[in-house]
Amino acid sequence: MNKKHLFLSKVYDSVYDFEKMKYKKKYSEPKIYTGGVDVKKWSKLSERQKKIALSKQWYVYFSFRNPETGLLERQTPIKGNANSLKTKEGRLEILTILRNNLSLALKEGLFPTTNDNNLSDEENLTIEEAFNYVLKIKKNTLAESSFNNFENRIIRFKKFLIEKGFQNKNISAVTKKDVSNYLNIILEKTSPSNRNNNRTDLSSFFSVLVNEDVITQNIVSKIPVLKSSPQKNKAFTEDEVQNIFEYLKENDLWLYYFCAHIYYGLFRNIEVVRIQIKDVKINEQLIHSKTKTGIYYKQIPKILINEFYNKIDLSEYNKDYFLFTKDNEPSQWLTPVNTKSGKKTTTTETNRRSYWGKRFSKIVKKKFNFSSDHTIYSLRHSAIGKMFLVKLNDYKKDDIPNFEEKALDFIRTITNHKDNKTVKNYLREIGYYKIEDWSDTLK
């Protein structure tokens, strides 16, 4: 064989397998994982998005074709000491060098052996280590209330595993059957809805471990979601809203102010307790709000300005004070002194929201004998339902084409539902969407 043919033979041997008349590359080109974001668009990301990306492990990854199975298998992620750096530039500098050197080595025919471990160093995480690892990541990526709910559910699952003898075992020892048994216990004690909520958080827990190459698959993803009937916050009628507000103005003015933000401003309870003085831009009629769908400015309608902001001089208070507190005025809202640290801390937003919900139940629900389906959040449903009916009648009276779709469009800009069909279903659930009366067809 001449030198040219010998050279080509070695090239093909190092890069391709000849199988069934097809060439199959022995490896995938190394790539850099950058925390789930496109670093080319780094400058366009928000500070929160950057923080979330940098809270994750960055690494170089590639796959190698197993000569026994013929399948590409993900190899051990290569991190170097990149994650000890806290900037995008620093991590990329190291990982780019690693990626280029790895690519060169693969082209030279330096492949991993079949006995190499295909998992990262984190594979050896114990149950305790795995839970701490995920909670640390989630704390940097979830809002306070969401993290508290997630943490509580995950900690209960960890307690279950320890009781079942998983104390010193590897997290990869947990099986789908173990999770199913736990979810069945929750179902027996509570409800399908609560069981599904726990399933969602457990799936998120194992998903983090998969993304971080601690385990190879999410064992929860194949556990089905059960059908359930979620509890709805029943909307109040217009007369009921009027009676509630008249009573509160006389008996609990600050609870009325809180309710006014939900009804007139269309805030959610949790969004109201998050408002600090510095968030309010009264001249622009805006409030910097942390909402369910993101962080942005929410408009303050004139009716809310007249009912609250024109009556309270916010300039008298510290800008870091919360707008609504148990003191019936803006303040810090601190917890009692901690017996261990001897310090006071800010009351969690979950407890602040719970406080106002209980206050509403005590003052309003007890007075008017409302059912458990009526909550302080029901006021938001009532406002959205009334707005729909007003817009629907206005568009219809003005003979505007497709007046119903126009009304649904208007509501969708407020609720952020994905389409008008979803808005219609929502309005039907709260009792504010009705078809034309069919009495004439039965005469």
Mean per-residue pLDDT for 59-67?
85
- The CATH number given to whatever domain includes residue 191 is 1.10.150
User: Phi then psi for 112, rounded to 5 degrees?
Assistant: -70, 150
Judgement on whether residues 347 and 383 belong to the same structural domain of the protein: no
- Cα separation, 215 vs 60, in Å, equals 17
- Report which of residues 10 and 320 the model is more confident about: 320
CA angle 20, 22, 26 (to 5 degrees): 110
Residue 12 has pLDDT above 80, yes or no: no
Judgement on whether residues 28 and 51 belong to the same structural domain of the protein: yes
| Percent of residues, the chain, with pLDDT higher than 70 | 88
Question: In the prediction, which pLDDT does 11 show?
Answer: 47
Question: In the prediction, which pLDDT does 109 show?
Answer: 73
Judgement on whether residues 362 and 259 belong to the same structural domain of the protein: yes
Question: In the prediction, which pLDDT does 244 show?
Answer: 97
- Cα separation, 380 vs 377, in Å, equals 6
- Report which of residues 79 and 110 the model is more confident about: 79
pLDDT in tens, 336-366: 756 555 677 888 888 899 999 999 999 999 9
Please report which confidence band the pLDDT of residue 111 belongs to, taking 50, 70 and 90 as the band edges. Answer: low
Domain span including residue 27: 12-118
In a domain? residue 228: no
pTM as predicted: 0.59
Please report which confidence band the pLDDT of residue 115 belongs to, taking 50, 70 and 90 as the band edges. Answer: very low
Mean per-residue pLDDT for 270-290?
92
pLDDT in tens, 180-234: 999 999 999 988 888 999 999 999 999 988 887 788 889 999 999 998 766 667 8
Question: In the prediction, which pLDDT does 120 show?
Answer: 43
- Report which of residues 348 and 113 the model is more confident about: 348
Compute CA distances 378 → 224, 232, 249, 369, whole Å.
31, 9, 19, 15
Judgement on whether residues 319 and 424 belong to the same structural domain of the protein: no
Residue type, position 204, single letter: S
Mean pLDDT, all residues of the chain: 85
Which H/E stretch holds residue 74?
strand 72-74
Question: In the prediction, which pLDDT does 63 show?
Answer: 87
| Percent of residues, the chain, with pLDDT higher than 90 | 47
In a domain? residue 175: yes
Residues with Cβ within 8 Å of 180's Cβ and at least 6 positions away in sequence, in order, are: 223
Q: How far apart are the first and last CA of the chain?
A: 98
- Of 211, 227, 247, the position where a domain reaches its end is 211
Residue 7 has pLDDT above 60, yes or no: no
Judgement on whether residues 334 and 251 belong to the same structural domain of the protein: yes
Question: In the prediction, which pLDDT does 118 show?
Answer: 40
Which H/E stretch holds residue 291?
strand 286-291
Judgement on whether residues 244 and 318 belong to the same structural domain of the protein: yes
Judgement on whether residues 409 and 390 belong to the same structural domain of the protein: yes
Domain count, the chain: 4
According to DSSP, the residues that pair with 346 across neighbouring strands are 334
In a domain? residue 59: yes
In a domain? residue 33: yes
- Of 118, 149, 165, the position where a domain reaches its end is 118
- Of 314, 345, 368, the position where a domain reaches its end is 368
Judgement on whether residues 87 and 164 belong to the same structural domain of the protein: no
Q: Is the dihedral of CA 348, 349, 350, 355 positive or negative?
A: positive
In angstroms, what is the C-alpha Rg of the chain? 29
Residue type, position 236, single letter: F
In a domain? residue 114: yes
pLDDT in tens, 140-171: 778 777 888 899 999 999 999 999 998 888 89
Judgement on whether residues 128 and 206 belong to the same structural domain of the protein: yes
pLDDT in tens, 379-427: 999 999 999 999 999 998 988 999 999 999 999 988 888 899 999 999 9
Residue 286 has pLDDT above 60, yes or no: yes
Compute CA distances 160 → 127, 136, 153, 154, 408, whole Å.
11, 20, 11, 10, 47
In a domain? residue 2: no
Q: Which residue, among 365, 363, 373, has the nearest Cα to 248 in the 3D structure?
A: 363
Question: In the prediction, which pLDDT does 79 show?
Answer: 81
Question: In the prediction, which pLDDT does 18 show?
Answer: 44
Question: In the prediction, which pLDDT does 212 show?
Answer: 76
In a domain? residue 80: yes
Alpha helices in 283-435 (DSSP H): 302-304, 349-360, 366-368, 378-397, 403-415, 420-429
- Report which of residues 18 and 148 the model is more confident about: 148
- Report which of residues 23 and 172 the model is more confident about: 172
Judgement on whether residues 259 and 362 belong to the same structural domain of the protein: yes
pLDDT in tens, 368-389: 999 888 999 999 999 999 999 9
Judgement on whether residues 358 and 416 belong to the same structural domain of the protein: no
In a domain? residue 219: no
Judgement on whether residues 255 and 353 belong to the same structural domain of the protein: yes
